[in-house]
Structures are given as structure tokens and as C-alpha cells.
Amino acid sequence: MIQVVHTIKEVREQVKAWRAQGLTVGFVPTMGYLHEGHQSLIARSVAENDRTVVSVFVNPMQFAPTEDLESYPRDLEADTSLCDATGADLIFNPEPEEMYTEGFCSFVDMNGPTAELCGKSRPIHFRGVCTVVSKLFHIVTPDKAYFGQKDAQQLAVIRRMVTDLNIPVEIVGCPIIREKDGLAKSSRNTYLNEEERKAALILSKTIYMGQELVKGGMTDAKELIRAMKENIGTEPLARIDYVEAVNFDDISVTDTITDNTLVAMAVYIGKTRLIDNFIVQGKRDAKGVSSC
């Protein structure tokens, strides 16, 4: 039976015991309300490590006052069942007060990779992400940590942070997991009503269209973005936050589609903000998978 703990002390004691046995530790940081996308990360960690830790923590630091911190879906019982069934060994489910003690005033921030895409419309977001993930890495001390490509900018940011701060953990990026109709798995999909759920398919349809345009030889990023925006515009319930082409390594804007170009979007369907992307890899073959 999987163990659920709520304090940093408990996590450290368990990991210390595993280390004493010479065991390797994988880590999957999440905000809970787990779905098949999270499950794929946990399964990858279980396959590659002796023990796997999953954190379930809705991090208040990465939410702006106008965002959905209070309404973000939570279901620890279901999360525990999924983690247990997938083979994880430990869930770390702290309260905010455990992670951010009274007087907390230290942060991990970043320039460059956080400036574009989600960083424009969510300016405090990545400061919160980097701070909490750095703390979690120091608490769990994993050998490997697993992140999904759906949050491609986050993946790039975490890789940069680990390199810059010499954190001894290998970051493993894993493919986007989709519903049967193509919609990228997301905890926020539960916000969508029936009409909005159908409308949300415009994201994956536009991703597939963009992939085909690149496979067909399109290299002009502005032309690609224009075509993708026009396609999104055919859905009345969709409102574009951004559609951009950037270098996947440093999230810098690019004018030319080449290997390792990330084509990413954020689109509001009603009040729900959804993201999706694809990465161009290997002889300009546009793929919805990462390098894991």
C-alpha cells in the first residue's frame, strides 16, 4: 500500500532509508487531480527507478490573485488510488504552511526562458514554479524527475534552472497524452461544459494542421502562426492568448521553423485557459513527442 505523508521530515526520513539500501529515486511533481498524463510520468519513473515519489501540492505561489487557486480541482483519494495502481511508493501532500513557513521571503526567479509564451500573460507564474520545484528537489533529492511536454515551457525552464543552479537531478521530458478525440489531457478540462468541450478540440485540430504544414515544407514561422491563428478563429468560443514559434532550448522567438522549434499556443475556451504544442524534431518532422 502506498504511503501518504504530509511533512518534509517524513519525506526526508523515507528517502534516507532508501538511499541507505542503495536504491534510486524517481520523482513526479504534480498539483494533483491526476489523469492519464500524470500516470504516464509515474509509470515512466517506476520503470526507471527503484522507488518513486509523487508530490501532490497545489502551489499558491504560481497563481495570480485573479486565477483559479481556490477552484483548482482536488481529489487526494483518487490521486492516491492512481499512484498506488501505477506503482508509486510515496505521496508527499503538504499543506501550504509546510512549504512556506511564516516569514518566507526567498525565491528562485529566472530571466530569458520565462519572458515569452505563458510568461507574458502570467508574469508571476514561473517564479512560483521555479521556487516550489527547487524546494521539492531539495526535499526529495531524486535521481530523476519527470515532466510532461504539454507544459513545454515549464519543461525548458526547469531544465535551465537545474543547469544554472547545479542541482544534481536528471530532467526527463515525456510525451503529451491526449483524449481519444485529440484534446490534450489537463486537470482544467473539467471546467469545460459540454459545448466548450467540443469547442476545445480546435486546439488539437490546429496543432495537427500546423504539423502537417511543417511536414509539407513550411519554414516561415510568421506564415505558420498566421495560418494557425486563422484556424482557431473559426471557433466562436475560442479566444487566443498566444500562438508562437520559439527555440525549445531557451524559448527565444524564431522566424524560421527548424529542428527543435517549439510551436505553442494558449487559448481560452470560455473562461478556461488551455495550452497545447508540438516540437519539430529530426529532419524537420513535426512530432507531438519530446526527447524522452
pLDDT, mean of residues 56-71: 95
**Cell, residue 183:** 484534446
User: CA distances (Å), 13 to each of 7, 17, 48, 60, 285, in order?
Assistant: 10, 6, 22, 26, 46
pLDDT for 281: 87
Distance in angstroms (rounded) separating the CA atoms of residues 121 and 268: 12
State which fold the 187-280 domain adopts. Answer: Pantoate--beta-alanine Ligase; Chain: A,domain 2 (3.30.1300)
Residue 282 pLDDT greater than 90, yes or no: no
Catalytic-role residue among 6, 35, 38, 138: 38
What interhelical angle do 125-140 and 152-164 show, nearest 10? 60
Q: What is the mean pLDDT of residues 163-185?
A: 98
Task: Specify the fold of 3-174.
Answer: Rossmann fold (3.40.50)
Per residue in 258-267, pLDDT tens?
999 999 999 9
All residues at 6 or more sequence positions from 124 whose CB lies less than 8 Å from its CB, including other chains? 61, 62, 64
Q: Reply yes or no on whether the pLDDT at 291 is more than 50.
A: no
- Distance CA(27)–CA(38), nearest Å, equals 12
Q: Go through 202-212 and write b for each residue having 16 or more CB atoms within 10 A of its CB, e for each that does not.
A: bbbbbbebbbe
pLDDT range class, residue 155, cuts 50, 70, 90:
very high
Specify the pTM: 0.94
| CB-CB neighbours of 102 under 10 Å | 5
* Domain positions in the chain: 3-174, 187-280
Cell of 13: 526520513
> What is the bridge-based pairing of β-strands 285-287 and 272-281?
antiparallel
38 catalytically annotated: yes
Strand-pairing partners, residue 30, are 56
Query: Do the beta carbons of residue 57 and residue 102 sit within 8 Å?
Result: no
